[in-house]
Each structure stands twice: as structure tokens, then as C-alpha cells.
Amino acid sequence: MRALDRATIDDIGIPAFALMETAGRAVAHVAEEMLEEAHDDGHIAVICGPGNNGGDGFVAARVLRDAGHDAVVYLATARESIRGDAAAHLAVLERAGGVVRMIDDPESLGDLGDAIAGASLVIDALFGVGLSRPIEGHLADVVSIANHAQRCLAVDIPSGLDTDTGRVLGTCVTADVTVTMAALKIALASAPGFAHCGSVDIADIGVPSGVLATQAVRGGLIEQADITTWIPRSDPMDHKGRRGHVVIVGGMPGMRGAGRLCSNAALRAGAGLVTLATAGEVTADDSIMTKALSTTISDLLAGKSAVVIGPGLGQSEPAAGWVGEVLASGVPAVLDADALNLVAGIVEALRQASGPVVLTPHPGEAARLLGTTAAEVEADRFAAARALASRAHAVVVLKGARTIVCDGTIEDDFCAINPTGGPELATGGSGDVLAGLIGSLLAQGLPPVEAARTGVYVHGLAGEELAAKFGHRGVVSSDLPLAIAGVISRLAE
């Protein structure tokens, strides 16, 4: 965004003062919509900090007052710290009759805190995208009071979020709506930042599309338009051989359900044939073939379209050998669950795989693969996905809230964020279903990164549809395969 601002101001010639005016007006417009929807035209507390974010707040307060609203600026910084275009807009606000109250120290905040906490709407214009250190002390108290208001509108990004990772820096405003300027920021679309943003409104502040196109974008959302391009479609000449044969290696004794869930998902996602390969006697739906595993599986993999290994696999010595055979087979492979644990110490060896590989770790598994902790993975999910994808030379699906897909087979660290799904997928077996779904899409001919992106999007959408029926805590993983079939059918149409 700093590069976009510079290019718009210096190359195109749109003054920064004008951009700030447009941004503030966009905030004021959304604020009016929020109050109208709530049938509440009470006090509006506009909390402003020292930077351009505060400048947007000065404009919003002026526009709202001009429209007849009780909007007051609460300035959480010394006046002398406000410079440049923000200072110019503060002067305009006051010349136009705007009210500015100081909350730059604990005493003044104590006097005015009730007015802020009791406001019909707080507009958070405290910090913008440039925050790089934790919010502490007096400013943390300002954030706490803002979070007690009936509703909150954040300007560009909720104060306290690290824009590039979505981490909370000390404390954070939790907004009902965020008005962000020109384009989404990583923190607004990925976890954990998205949970603090509410609904996000992207404001067109005048950055020309040509300027947007010049920037190297390192992240983006998976959207339905992408999926409808990639998703496999039926053909009048289809037969089971044309739709691919997936082998599922897993579902060992004591973990049978993982293998069955994975197999059912692969079949419901459109694969023509599915074989569940496991140890001992096993039962599966009549439409799923079964194979008793021996010490080697090379013959089983010959001529197959895709293989998923790991759900309910265990970490025995034979299992480690099967993972090695899968990687040497050249068959497109999804490594999940125990298969990931078996390669944790030899991630770089995945670069020697004879065929494409998709890894589907949750944060704990990603931490073991990277030799770090789950907390460190969650602190910067983008960095973790990129590091693992690069080291493994594979497509990585870093699961969790707002799953990330990164393709380490190309010299590009672009990360795709999946916006679908929610807490309804926090149930045992959900990951097994996802692995089978991605394996099925591989078998039907999708390139690995498209299979991964399509898989996580469809999986999440299926979860959302089930949650609408059963609630977030009423969805179980065995519900998912049939829901996936329905989602794929609708998207294909």
C-alpha cells in the first residue's frame, strides 16, 4: 500500500490530501449505513492517532458532523505529533466547527472514557497499516474502551493488527465493519486477523487500476470464479477409466474410519475408481475397492492416477517404506497425517519425488516438518507455508482457519487464502475428507496447485452448507462427502 500511495501521488499526480479526503468520506458513508441499519443516531466517537489513519478519521468526523450527526474526535496523541496531510485535515475539521477532545493521557481518558464506551459507534482511526510494535500502556487502555462500545468501524485495518501477518500486536480493536482502502490487506483476509475485522468493505479512493497492476502481489483470495474455471465437468463420453483411479493408503486397525472417510470423499468428488489399501480385513462401501497391504505397494500404484497416503496410516517401519514407494512411483500424491510425520526429518528429500506432491499439514504437523513450534507457525502462517513449500518443492496446504495454499514448485511465493469454511470443520476426520477430495481432483487431471485450491474451497463451502442445517457444532466429518458432491455439482453448473 505504501508503494501504491507513492505511485498514485508521485507518478499519477493525485495529491495525498485528496486521497485522504476520499478515504474519510468512504468511512463516513459506511458509518451512516451502520447507524441507519441499527436505527441508532447516537454519539459517534472517532478515535484518532498520529498518522494518516488519524487523518482519515478527521475527514470522516467532519463529513458526519456536516450531515447532522453527533461526531466527535477523541485525539489519542499529542497535537504536535500530527504532521503533513493529517495535520492539514485536522485544521480543516476545526475551522469547520469540529469538536476535538484530548485523550492523550490516562487522566483525560478517565474523564472521557464513559463517553467513548457508551457511544453508538466508535470509529477506530488510531493506527493504520504501518503499526510495527505492540500496543501497550495508555494506548492499550484506549483500545479496551473502544471495544466496549455498541459497535465499531475500523479505518483500513483494526488497530493492533500486523498488516503482513494478521498477528495481534499486544492488543487489538475488534470491529464489526472494516473499511479498507484500495485493496484487501493480508491481515484482513487471513487468520487470525480476519476474526477482528467483521465484514470488510473495500473503498475505491482513486488509486488507478493501472497502478494496482504494477505491484507484485504476494497473496490473494481463492474465489468462486477461479473454482468454476478449474472444476472437472462431466462429458457424455465419460467412463470410470477416464475419471481416474485413486489409491488410498491408510485406515490401519484402530484407525479404520480415517481410511473410509478419505475413500468416500474421493469417490463423491468424482473419481471413477477408488481403492482403499490397508492392513488386515477391512470393510468399506460396496463402491470402494479394498486391497490388503503387503510389505511393498509398488505394484498397487502402477497405472494409477493419484495416491493419498497418511490418513490412519500409523508410523510403523512398513508405513515409512510405503511413503518412500509413493514418492518414487511418479504417481501424483497427497501426503497427509501420519505420512507427514514420517517425513518430518527429511523434508528436503521430498524434492527428489518422481511425481508431484501435495502436503496437507495442520499447524502442529507443519511445525514438525519445519523443526519449529505450532505457535511460531501460527504467528506467521504465510512465512511457514512459503518456507515449507520451498523446502519440499511441493504444493503446501496449511490447514486451519483461512487455509493457505502455496506452490513451492515455481519460483514464486504467492499464497492463496481460502475464504470458505469455519468452525464446523473443527471435527475429527475433516482433514481425512479433504485429503481424499484433493486426491480425487488430481486423479481427474487437475494440476496440483489447482487441485489443492479447488479442494479447500469446496471442502469449506460444504462445511458452511452443513453448518446452516446443523449448526457449527452439529457437523460431523461423515456428513462432508455427500455435501461435497452437491457443491461440486452446483459449481460445475
Q: What is the CATH number of the domain that holds 479?
A: 3.40.1190.20
- pLDDT confidence of residue 211: 81
| Residues 42 and 187 grouped into a single domain | yes
pTM: 0.93
| Residues 180 and 311 grouped into a single domain | no
Strand order in the sheet with 71-75: 100-102, 71-75, 44-48, 121-125, 152-155, 177-181, 199-203
pLDDT in tens, the chain (493 residues): 888 888 899 989 999 999 999 999 999 999 999 999 999 999 999 999 999 999 999 999 999 999 999 999 999 999 999 999 999 999 999 999 999 999 999 999 999 999 999 999 999 999 989 888 999 999 999 999 999 999 999 999 999 999 999 999 999 999 999 999 999 999 999 999 999 999 999 999 988 888 877 777 788 999 999 999 999 988 877 788 788 999 999 999 989 999 999 999 999 999 999 999 999 887 788 899 999 888 789 999 999 999 999 999 999 999 999 999 999 999 999 999 999 999 998 999 999 999 999 999 999 999 999 999 999 999 999 999 999 999 999 999 999 999 999 999 998 889 999 999 999 999 999 999 999 999 999 999 999 999 999 999 999 999 999 999 999 999 999 999 999 999 999 999 9
| Residues 315 and 449 grouped into a single domain | yes
| Residues 229 and 160 grouped into a single domain | no
| Residues 178 and 39 grouped into a single domain | yes
114 contact partners, CB below 8 Å, separation of at least 6: none
| Residues 175 and 292 grouped into a single domain | no
Going from the C-alpha of 229 to that of each of 240, 459, 479, the distances in angstroms are 22, 17, 26
- pLDDT confidence of residue 240: 81
Reduced to 3 states (helix: H, G, I; strand: E, B; else coil), residue 181 is strand
| Residues 424 and 471 grouped into a single domain | yes
Contact 275, 289 (CB under 8 A): yes
| Residues 390 and 480 grouped into a single domain | yes
Helix (H) or strand (E) holding 33: helix 16-38
| Residues 148 and 211 grouped into a single domain | yes
Helix (H) or strand (E) holding 114: helix 106-117
- Show which of 181, 215, 249 is a domain's final residue: 215
| Residues 136 and 188 grouped into a single domain | yes
| Residues 186 and 228 grouped into a single domain | no
Domain residue limits at 301: 224-492
| Residues 391 and 421 grouped into a single domain | yes
- Show which of 215, 235, 254 is a domain's final residue: 215
- pLDDT confidence of residue 428: 95
- pLDDT confidence of residue 286: 83
- CATH code of the domain containing 135: 3.40.50.10260
Tally of residues, the chain:
493
- Show which of 186, 215, 244 is a domain's final residue: 215
44 contact partners, CB below 8 Å, separation of at least 6: 31, 35, 61, 64, 69, 70, 71, 72, 119, 120, 121, 122, 123
Cα–Cα distance between 205 and 182 in angstroms, integer?
A: 6
User: What is the chain's alpha carbon radius of gyration, rounded to the nearest angstrom?
Assistant: 26
Q: Count of domains in the chain? A: 2
Contacts 24+ apart (CB under 8 A), 201-206: 201/26, 201/30, 201/177, 203/22, 203/23, 203/26, 203/27, 203/179, 204/26, 205/19, 205/22, 205/23, 205/26, 205/181, 206/8, 206/14, 206/18, 206/19, 206/22
